């Protein structure tokens, strides 16, 4: 290809790492073919020493086949939500940026005999972003997300479960991915409940031992909404514990701003932030979505304050109902 064409292609691929690289390789090949060996060599060296970004595994096609037998309790999720979809405290943003940077320098860090933080425990009340964050984090890392269905794993403890657990960990040791143990409390509960159930206890303990020993190629993340109640034997296995708290007034305002960013409104949703204290993001999300839906159903262009208030009243009713359900007697 003519040099001018290649240059054009190179510029057009700006920002798309893999394409850029492919065109750059083509230019180098061209120079080699023209016998400009010194130039070709120097170009190659420059290309190789460029900033190394983690190569995004081509749309969730892992290099190592996932152990099929474990497929029954592991689900491959394609991360779709990005950091634009999540509200995080500035403290957590700092932690995650630190983890991302560390991950990108894994080789250098390990060469110096140091360990990269790769086992994370997400804690916090329901609906405050633990699962969402695991997805966004995987997306940011460019890694596939494997969600381990712990309850299913634990309830199928008989037979080959232990062997399958081993295979999952073996996989996560070799394949860069995010291995996500959602509802990790199931494990702590099973540990308490197992009583005389030796087989169950064996699986739970072996899971803890695996977590202890593994140095994942990507990340292992566990999420729980028990906090301090989790046994210290579980805590100490994680390199980092990250808290997802109920949103305060300022975070609620940010969240509402995000939810109504592209929505035509006839009122100011932020003005209602003070009424949403004590609600989780998931609940506020539901209120916002419900308000928007009312306008859609009525074929109105704008969401009105009464749409919002009706959705809020609905959420209150729902809460009241669920409080009744959990009250003793
Ligand atoms: N921090 C957040 N920022 C933006 N949206 C959020 C946030 N937290 C929760 N949401 C919304 O609520 C939904 C449910 O949140 P998520 O599943 O992450 O909660 P969780 O903390 O994992 O809860 P659980 O303990 O019940 O598993 C998300 O899909 C998202 O729509
Ligand atoms: Mg969750």
CA 171 – ligand 2 centroid, Å: 23
Which CA distances in Å does 321 have to 72, 114, 309, 316, 317? 35, 52, 18, 9, 6
Res. 241: pLDDT tops 80:
yes
pLDDT of residue 133: 97
Q: Which of 191-220 are b and which e, b meaning 16 or more Cβ less than 10 Å from the residue's Cβ?
A: beebeeeeebbebbeebbebbeebebbbbb
Length, in residues, of the chain: 329
Q: Is the CB of 181 under 6 A from ligand 1?
A: no
Among the residue ranges 144-158, 183-197, 226-240, 244-258, the one predicted with the least confidence is 183-197
Nearest CA to ligand 1 atom 12: 282
Q: Encode pLDDT of 49-75 as tens digits.
A: 766 554 444 445 566 788 877 777 889
- pLDDT tens for each residue of 275-317: 999 999 999 999 999 999 999 999 999 999 999 999 999 999 9
What CATH class has 58-243? Answer: alpha beta
pTM above 0.85, yes or no: no
Q: Report pLDDT for 53.
A: 52
Q: Where in the chain is the domain with CATH 3.40.50.300?
A: 58-243
For residues 290 and 157, the model is more confident at 290
CA of 183, closest atom in ligand 1: 27
Fold classification of 249-326 is Helicase, Ruva Protein; domain 3 (1.10.8)
Decide: 194 and 200 in contact? Cβ < 8 Å: yes
Q: d(Cα 122, Cα 191) in Å, to the nearest integer? A: 19
Mean pLDDT of the 150-155 span: 78
DSSP state of 241: E
Distance 132 CA to ligand 1 centre (A): 5
Dist. CA 303–CA 277, nearest whole Å: 22
Range(s) within the chain of domains with CATH label 1.10.8.60: 249-326
Looking at residue 224, the DSSP 8-state letter turns out to be: E
**Quick check: 206 pLDDT over 70?**
yes
Q: Answer yes or no: is pLDDT of 318 > 70.
A: yes
């Amino acid at each position: 290809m003519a040099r001018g064409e290649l240059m054009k292609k190179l510029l057009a691929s700006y920002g798309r790492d893999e394409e850029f690289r492919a065109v750059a390789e083509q230019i180098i090949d061209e120079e080699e073919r023209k016998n400009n060996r010194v130039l070709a060599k120097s170009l190659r060296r420059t290309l190789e020493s460029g900033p190394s970004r983690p190569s995004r595994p081509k749309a969730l096609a892992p290099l190592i086949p996932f152990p099929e037998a474990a497929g029954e309790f592991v689900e491959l999720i394609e991360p779709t939500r990005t950091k634009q979809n999540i509200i995080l405290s500035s403290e957590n943003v700092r932690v995650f940026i630190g983890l991302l940077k560390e991950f990108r320098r894994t080789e250098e860090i390990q060469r110096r005999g140091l360990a990269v933080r790769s086992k994370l425990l997400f804690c916090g009340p329901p609906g405050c972003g633990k699962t969402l964050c695991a997805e966004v984090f995987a997306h940011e890392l460019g890694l596939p997300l494997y969600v381990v269905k712990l309850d299913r794993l634990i309830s199928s403890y008989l037979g080959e479960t232990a062997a399958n657990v081993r295979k999952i960990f073996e996989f996560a040791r070799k394949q860069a991915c995010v291995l996500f143990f959602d509802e990790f409390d199931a494990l702590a509960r099973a540990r308490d409940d197992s009583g005389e159930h030796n087989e169950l206890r064996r699986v739970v303990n072996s899971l803890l031992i695996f977590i202890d020993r593994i140095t994942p190629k990507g990340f292992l993340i566990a999420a729980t909404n028990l906090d301090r109640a989790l046994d210290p034997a579980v805590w100490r296995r994680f390199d980092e514990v990250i808290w997802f708290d109920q949103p305060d007034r300022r975070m609620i305002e940010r969240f509402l701003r995000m939810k109504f960013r592209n929505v035509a409104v006839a009122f100011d949703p932020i003005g209602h932030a003070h009424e949403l204290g004590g609600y989780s993001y998931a609940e506020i999300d539901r209120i916002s979505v419900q308000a928007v839906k009312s306008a859609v159903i009525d074929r109105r262009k704008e969401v009105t304050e009464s749409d919002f208030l009706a959705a809020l009243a609905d959420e209150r009713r729902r809460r009241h109902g669920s409080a009744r359900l959990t009250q003793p007697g």
